[in-house]
Amino acid sequence: MNHLPNLLRVGLLLAAGWLAALVAGCSAPASPQFPKGRGDQCVEPLDVIRRAHMHFLIHQRDETMHEGIRTKKHSLKHCIECHASKDDKGNWVSVNAPGQFCESCHRYAAVSMDCFGCHATKPEKQPLRRVEK
């Protein structure tokens, strides 16, 4: 190694340090944190709703729009009624605000949402209600 120029030795050392830092940084990032929803449990098992909520929503969307079927179970409005949280002053916080239910996971997964260009991000009613099955 003695024949290597000093500059290259410094460079190698720096590269090694950088690699070590990179490997250390590769541990799984913290899971998204968001306020707990109301009610005892979701309308579907957690592993199902986490993977398939978009399919439930799009199916419900077409049925509601075209056939007037307004069951609550898979409606976006009903999701929001349970999952919107309140701030210190008791005002609703939007579900797509930073750190809130929808935004936190979607930021983690790097998936953008179109829903809230049109749909309300807060419940309309003030009284809190439990999940109706």
Partner 1 sequence: MMSDRSEQPNHPRRRFLGIAASVAVAPGLMLFNRAGAKPPDQAVSSKNRWGMLVDTTKCADGCQACVEACHKENGISSRGRPTTDPQWIRAVTLRDRETRRETHLPLMCQHCEHPPCVDVCPTGASFRRADGIVLVDRHTCIGCRYCMMACPYKARSFVHENLHDQLPRNPRGKGCVESCTFCVHRVDEGNLTPACAEACEKDGHRALVFGDLKDPNSDLYKLLTEIGARQLRQDLGLNTGVRYHGV
Applying CB under 8 A, the residues found at the interface with partner 1 are: 61-63, 65-72, 77, 80, 117-120, 123-124
At closest approach, how far in Å is the CB of 110 from partner 1?
23
The secondary structure of residue 89, as a DSSP letter, is: T
At closest approach, how far in Å is the CB of 113 from partner 1?
13
At closest approach, how far in Å is the CB of 61 from partner 1?
6
Residue placing its CB nearer to partner 1 in the complex, 41 or 71: 71
The amino acid that residue 74 corresponds to is H
At closest approach, how far in Å is the CB of 37 from partner 1?
17
User: Is the separation of the CB atoms in 64 and 75 below 8 Å?
Assistant: yes
Residue placing its CB nearer to partner 1 in the complex, 79 or 104: 79
Signed CA dihedral, 43, 49, 52, 55: sign only = positive
Residue placing its CB nearer to partner 1 in the complex, 93 or 108: 93
